[in-house]
Structure 1
Amino acid sequence: MKIQSLPLDVINLIAAGEVIDSPVAVVRELVENALDATANRIVISIYPQLWRIQVSDNGNGMILDDLKVCSQPHSTSKIYSHDDLWRITSLGFRGEALHSIAQVAELEIASRSVWDDDLGWRVRYTPHGEIENITAAAIASGTIITVSNLFNNLPVRRNALRAINQQLKGIQSLIHQVALCHPSVTWQVTRDDTPWFKISPSTSSHHILPQILKSVHHTDLQALTLDIETPQDDCSNIQRTISKIELVVGLPDRCHRHRLDWVKIAVNGRMIRNSDLEQTIITAFARTLPRDRYPVCFLHLQTCPSLIDWNRHPTKSEIYLQSLSFWQEQIQNAIDQALKISPANLSTAFYNTRVSNLIKAAEEKSSYHFTPTAKSETIKSKDDLGLIELIAVAQVRNTYIVAEHDNGLWLVEQHIAHERVLYEKLQDHWEIISLETPIILKQLSERQVEQLKELGLEIETFGEQLWAVRSAPKMLSERNDCKEALIELSWGGDLETAQVATACRSAIRNGTALTLVEMQTILNQWKCTRNPRTCPHGRPIYLSLEESSLSRYFRRHWVIGKSHGIS
């Protein structure tokens, strides 16, 4: 065998096959070009059976000189030198898209520049990216790109992509993701000249996400935008700027997912995959969601271009991001802030549909002695400003605390509210103390003994099938049922699981009568927790009955004449 250089047409086809591997890739490349041309309205027409795709936009358009060279290999207006690779602010920059499309399909571009008011031009290209035909075109400013007979020269690939519904699903998912990153754009998509779906523009992703997830209302979401000072040693003096974190999270007491399919991360206008940042988001929602449920979260990080290396993956979906640990900390803090309760993120509409689903207490009634101190001990968060002032006014069935605030009433389930308080206290101060009198446990398995040791408890053999536990969590050591609690802890789980179990067992039981002072103490402690919306098991803690909802129910907005039957 002899090593030899490949012919240019083979090289081009190999490269094109890597960049344009599906109809989804065609739509992605053309949409990114439209956005780089500052388009705010994009129309996408799909003809699956014909293997034809057309993307129209109202962007800046191209002059004739640009149309003549845009399909040549590595032709771009986005970068010009080596240094520009570290200052990328556009979605495209490699100059591969149009040339690659021309290798695997018939390519036609009609465009009119906003700087040329006379007329537009329609250009058809050969498979080598050269001009085949040029004609004048009477079109509005913008660009219309038509891709026909996709993969006609790659029959194996076309046959492998015959699952049309799967391809359409991929295109829809792509447009949804891009729309989240660019909320000011109007998206109109047709299939075989029939309207398929549309996404209306908005000022933020907060109102785009409900258009994508139909079961989610915008009141189920909390949006947050934070300005972050980028570490100064990472950006040059010229490029140093304030970074921004835009966050849209599904409130854990209102919406969550059965699958890990809606943790989305974008950087500088493009959706990416980053397992480290994804895990940071999942960890931030720990012990706020029910078991086997996952968060709804869209994170958009906008930062200095010199911190990012986009030149890692053909689709630019994977990047190198400097100061990863810094961003992980900032994301954790942003989610913590978004999940807190404040007047800014209260909703009045959502709870109208939840009144009938009030959570029923599951615990049996038992005595519990709750002694509030003169000054309530609260778990301090980093920022207690903006918290709602809650005033305890009554107790319903010795289970729900009725709390009044400026805009209405809340029902707070006392057990899980107190459980949230104790759990976060245990997170911050997990203390194991020695027991004056050891607790004797019987018939433990070897795994149970190891489990108690892993939790930091001192345990030793005391006889045949007997073990003496000489230390215990401080909160449990003060309870009469400490022995039963230790057996419960021995059945498995990590430290976090043990803390949840300890908090649940130690929290005030439903069915316990409380005084107004005791109720107020619980409210004061609970509202200052880091995640006050749900208990550590993911159950909603409070139900809001807002003044506006009450007014609508009692028809207080009716005029006097109408309410008295006077026409």
Structure 2
Amino acid sequence: MRRIHALPPELVNQIAAGEVIERPASVVKELVENSIDAGARRVEVDIEDGGARLIRVRDDGGGIEPDDLPLAITSHATSKIASFDDLERVGTLGFRGEALPSIASVSRFALMSRTAGGDAAWRIEVDGGRPLLPKPAQHPVGTVVEVRDLFYNVPARRKFLRAERTEFGYIDELIKSIALARAEVEFRLANNGKPLRLLRPAHGEADIQRRIGDVLGGDFVERSLRVDHAGAGLRLHGWVGLPTASRSQADQQYFHVNGRLVRDRLVAHAVRQAYADVLFHGRHPAFVLFLELDPALVDVNVHPAKHEVRFRESRLVHDFLYRTLDEALSGTRAGSAVAAAPAAAPAALPAWPVYRQQGGLGLGTREPLADYAALLGAPARGSMAPAIAPGTDAAGEYRAEGTAPQEAGEVPPLGFALAQLHGVYILAENAQGLVLVDMHAAHERITYEKLKLAQAGEGIRAQQLLVPLTLALSEREAAAVEEHAERFAVLGFDVVRSGPQGAVVRRVPMLLEGSDVQQLVRDVIADFVAQGSSRRIEEAGNELLATMACHGSVRANRRLSLPEMNALLREMERTERSGQCNHGRPTTVQLGMAELDRLFLRGR
């Protein structure tokens, strides 16, 4: 071993570059964030050869004083923090002061800047990691940074660069993500001298939606839910995609914390749980979300490239995200929002579950109801059977007997049933045109939500185990059992710590009989350790309820009368998440008159 010695500054910067600069997009990220921190309202990015040959970032920000130019390319020199208190409340995108010297150490680097009060601009270059003296130059107020021949002096790193198109794709994606968070800033992106992206500044809601459409496609906002909720010192706002607008890849997921794009496991977990009941298997939601909180409550200094953050109240943040998104998604009723449903709706499906059980919704002998007529109960066998009579109101619409006629122009979101197709689909007419309903999928969701409500009202029933389960755990897991014992009890479990590295399960929810309780408890403990919370028990119970709902719902080839079909439509309009079945499949499809006209070439 050699004697301990200080590393040369050039080698220190190259080591830092290995942490900060993964590819050309990393350079663009650091430079654009510096521009935004400098108050820029216009940022121009020019790329050549995927960033390997040239990266130029120009802005109209506040600029750098001539005397500060040498400091700007010195390690850990910054204008953004001055004390530990500043580090505890970071309000800028960059703050460490290592980005520019790291970039300059692995490229041919030049920086030119002019302040508002300066008579001229000044330019400084770095040659082989050594800065040259600043020189006067011509440039408007603002800063331009040129990075040429990236990794020219680190051949091993340059070999790992991907194809030009791939590297530019990363840069384009980065600009889009920053543009979503900084709607007030204009962004221009050019590749090999050709302008490719121009994002005008947005100052109002309409402009912001236009920018989102420019970045993610014109129909993103139309197929999303607007979210804006505040509480407990947190605010979450943005857009979450409808379950029916899910994607095969997680390529449209943008989550910003105080304006900083992050990839956080806690956030991903909360979002995944919120979509658990409405997303089809293997599909991914799309969203653009912004979380705002006190900078003192989030640590952005946990990753050199600032991709990750650490929340000081992780459980609070997780629960806030989950509940906000779950509440938004619970309003995805078929047809439209609840407010659009008519006040006087036709007779609806009953509020009892499709399985009669001895002893409530806990364990017991399950006896499936005979058929759909039995599910409808007395109304289906009595007054509701002849409830629909053709042409009974002035508008010529079908309506249920005993309900008020619809006012002029007042039509339920899902309209009124016309017929049944092959015993599978309900055809209905609403104000927009034709509605197709998968009757089994729709009834499955209705039944599932009723079962969940009944279960919640009854509480979680539990049973003692004849032979308690003994779990061997790590000390950290055993401590989590002790810490969250009360939360286990609320969920129907009696789990107690039995030693430094053990726990005993004495009672389990009756609804989970037959499942792998030991593995479930281990998974819940793991969630408590990692996230501070867990919904695995509720999800396991919901899986059983979903199976019950599926088997108890009306089947294909079951002929329904018009009263039965209309009752199903009205119940869909009142049921949360009725736009999708329990497996995430859509329950309805709307075909507007314009679409139908196009099918038949009308008006051409």
Normalised TM-score (structure 2)? 0.67
Letter in 2 for 1:394: A
Letter in 2 for 1:292: G
Equivalent residue, structure 2, for 1:285: 275
Distance 1:326 1:529, change over 3 A: farther
Answer whether contact 2:69 2:134 (CA < 8 A) is retained. Answer: no
2:424 counterpart of 1:422: no
Q: Deviations over 1:261-319 (max 9, x none)?
A: 43332211111121122021112112322222121123221111000111111011111
SS at match of 2:105: helix
Letter in 2 for 1:324: S
2:312 counterpart of 1:312: no
Match of 1:225 among 225, 228, 241: 228
Match of 1:543 among 589, 596, 604: 589
Answer whether contact 1:390 1:403 (CA < 8 A) is retained. Answer: no
SS at match of 1:15: helix
Equivalent residue, structure 1, for 2:568: 522
Equivalent residue, structure 1, for 2:239: 248
Q: Deviations over 1:93-146 (max 9, x none)?
A: 111111212222222122222x32643333324555644341131x33221111
2:39 counterpart of 1:38: yes
Distance 1:200 1:396, change over 3 A: farther
Q: Deviations over 1:173-207 (max 9, x none)?
A: 22222222223333222222123334444456654
Equivalent residue, structure 2, for 1:95: 97
Equivalent residue, structure 2, for 1:22: 23
SS at match of 1:189: strand
SS at match of 2:76: coil
Question: Counterparts of 1:286-301 in structure 2 under 5 Å?
Answer: 286-301=276-291
Deviates further, 147-156 or 330-339: 330-339
Separation in 2, partners of 1:503, 1:201: 49
Deviates further, 104-113 or 502-511: 502-511
Answer whether contact 1:206 1:248 (CA < 8 A) is retained. Answer: no
Match of 2:513 among 456, 463, 468: 456
Separation in 2, partners of 1:345, 1:5: 70
Divergent runs of 4+, >6 A: 342-346, 547-556
Answer whether contact 1:63 1:116 (CA < 8 A) is retained. Answer: no
Separation in 2, partners of 1:495, 1:145: 57
Question: Counterparts of 1:60-459 in structure 2 under 5 Å?
Answer: 60-113=62-115, 115-116=116-117, 118-128=119-129, 130-137=131-138, 139-161=139-161, 163-202=163-202, 203=204, 206-214=209-217, 217-230=220-233, 243-253=234-244, 255-339=245-329, 340-341=331-332, 368-369=372-373, 370-371=375-376, 390=413, 393-397=416-420, 399-400=425-426, 402=428, 404=430, 410-430=435-455, 455-456=512-513
Distance 1:162 1:337, change over 3 A: closer
> Offset of 1:13 from its aligned partner?
2.8
> Offset of 1:150 from its aligned partner?
1.9
> Offset of 1:215 from its aligned partner?
8.5
Distance 1:324 1:207, change over 3 A: farther
Question: Which 5+ residue runs of structure 1 have no aligned equivalent?
Answer: 231-242, 347-365, 376-387, 434-452, 459-492
Equivalent residue, structure 2, for 1:8: 8
Distance 1:206 1:335, change over 3 A: farther
Deviates further, 160-169 or 313-322: 160-169
Letter in 1 for 2:187: W
Letter in 1 for 2:94: G
Q: Deviations over 1:388-420 (max 9, x none)?
A: 954753332264263646x77744443322211
Letter in 1 for 2:295: P
Q: Deviations over 1:25-55 (max 9, x none)?
A: 2111101001112223221111227622101
Match of 1:507 among 553, 557, 561: 553
Normalised TM-score (structure 1)? 0.71
Q: Identity percentage over the alignment?
A: 32
Equivalent residue, structure 1, for 2:347: none
Letter in 1 for 2:321: I
Letter in 1 for 2:144: I
Distance 1:210 1:248, change over 3 A: same
SS at match of 2:574: coil
Separation in 2, partners of 1:344, 1:35: 42
Separation in 2, partners of 1:77, 1:337: 42
Answer whether contact 1:401 1:414 (CA < 8 A) is retained. Answer: no
Answer whether contact 1:71 1:129 (CA < 8 A) is retained. Answer: no
Answer whether contact 1:336 1:531 (CA < 8 A) is retained. Answer: no
Distance 1:295 1:148, change over 3 A: same
Separation in 2, partners of 1:540, 1:123: 59
Answer whether contact 2:73 2:104 (CA < 8 A) is retained. Answer: yes
SS at match of 1:175: helix
> Offset of 1:322 from its aligned partner?
2.0
SS at match of 1:218: coil
Question: Which 5+ residue runs of structure 2 have no aligned equivalent?
Answer: 338-369, 381-410, 462-509, 516-538
Separation in 1, partners of 2:125, 2:414: 72
Answer whether contact 1:410 1:542 (CA < 8 A) is retained. Answer: yes
Distance 1:389 1:40, change over 3 A: farther
Deviates further, 165-174 or 547-556: 547-556
Distance 1:258 1:21, change over 3 A: closer
Answer whether contact 1:206 1:223 (CA < 8 A) is retained. Answer: no
Separation in 1, partners of 2:451, 2:302: 43
Letter in 2 for 1:76: T
Letter in 2 for 1:500: A
Aligned length: 460
Separation in 1, partners of 2:565, 2:33: 56
Distance 1:186 1:513, change over 3 A: same
Separation in 2, partners of 1:539, 1:201: 38
Deviates further, 76-85 or 53-62: 53-62
> Offset of 1:228 from its aligned partner?
2.5
Separation in 1, partners of 2:336, 2:42: 31
Distance 1:514 1:161, change over 3 A: closer
Distance 1:123 1:525, change over 3 A: same
The Cα RMSD (Å) is 3.7
Distance 1:392 1:318, change over 3 A: closer
SS at match of 2:268: helix
SS at match of 1:160: coil
